[in-house]
């Protein structure tokens, strides 16, 4: 029988814990992935209704390039499925203002949002409903 291992010093234990953790980058992308998965998982459930379905189509065309698929965010714009965009903090009128007039960067460092003149008023109402349903499905209501 081998002798029992010597007790580890604090430094050794810290190194072992550090080595056992995934590198920071991997952990970050895992969290981003997890967020997207959550937004994705809710998209199939409650969103079969006509208004939010046509909202999704318009969103995918005009908004998803920056706000990401299912409004989960991208490298060019923030997730709208985020507590910052809770209806109590950004009412539906914030969507109208953003789409008609654009947004000067103030919450994040993605840059300004240009106006989206191709979006019709009906599409905008449906987009807003779609995003609200995604938020709700993710506990933001
Ligand atoms: C070219 C990229 C881009 C596109 C396309 C885009 N957005 Fe944005 N949007 C942004 C960025 C960036 C911000 C965050 C600005 C900040 O607060 O820093 C933003 C912010 C917003 C906000 C928050 C406004 C506020 O009052 O703070 C809403 C709502 C919004 N976008 C909706 C939309 C909708 C709906 C569409 C599609 C019709 C859309 N955006 C298309 C980049 C984009």
C-alpha distances in Å from residue 41, one per residue of 27, 70, 85 = 21, 10, 20
Number of domains in the chain: 1
Any domain includes 51: yes
Any domain includes 5: no
Any domain includes 35: yes
Any domain includes 64: yes
Report the alpha-carbon distance of residue 26 to residue 34 in Å, rounded.
Answer: 12
Q: What is the CATH number of the domain that holds 16?
A: 1.10.760
Question: What confidence tens digit (pLDDT) does each residue in 2-48 have?
Answer: 556 556 666 677 677 666 666 666 666 666 655 655 555 455 455 56
Report the alpha-carbon distance of residue 92 to residue 64 in Å, rounded.
Answer: 18
Which pTM does this prediction carry?
0.76
Cβ(135) – ligand 1 distance below 6 Å: no
Residue identifier of the C-alpha nearest atom 43 of ligand 1:
113
8-state DSSP, 138: T
Any domain includes 2: no
Tracing tokens 């997730």 back to the chain, one arrives at 79
Question: What confidence tens digit (pLDDT) does each residue in 71-123 have?
Answer: 999 999 999 999 999 999 999 999 999 999 999 999 999 999 999 999 999 99
Cβ(66) – ligand 1 distance below 6 Å: yes
Any domain includes 75: yes
Domain of residue 17 covers: 10-137
Any domain includes 32: yes
């Amino acid at each position: 029988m081998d002798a029992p291992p010597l007790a580890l010093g604090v430094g050794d234990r810290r190194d072992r814990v550090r080595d056992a953790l995934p590198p920071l980058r991997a952990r970050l992308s895992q969290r981003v992935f997890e967020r997207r998965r959550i937004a994705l998982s809710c998209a199939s459930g409650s969103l079969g209704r006509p208004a939010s379905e046509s909202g999704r189509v318009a969103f995918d065309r005009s908004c998803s390039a920056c706000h990401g698929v299912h409004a989960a965010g991208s490298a060019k714009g923030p997730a709208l499925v985020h507590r910052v965009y809770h209806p109590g903090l950004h009412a539906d009128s914030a969507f109208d203002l953003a789409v008609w007039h654009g947004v000067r960067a103030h919450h994040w460092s993605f840059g300004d949002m240009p106006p989206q003149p191709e979006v019709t008023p009906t599409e905008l109402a449906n987009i807003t409903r779609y995003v609200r349903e995604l938020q709700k499905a993710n506990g933001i209501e």
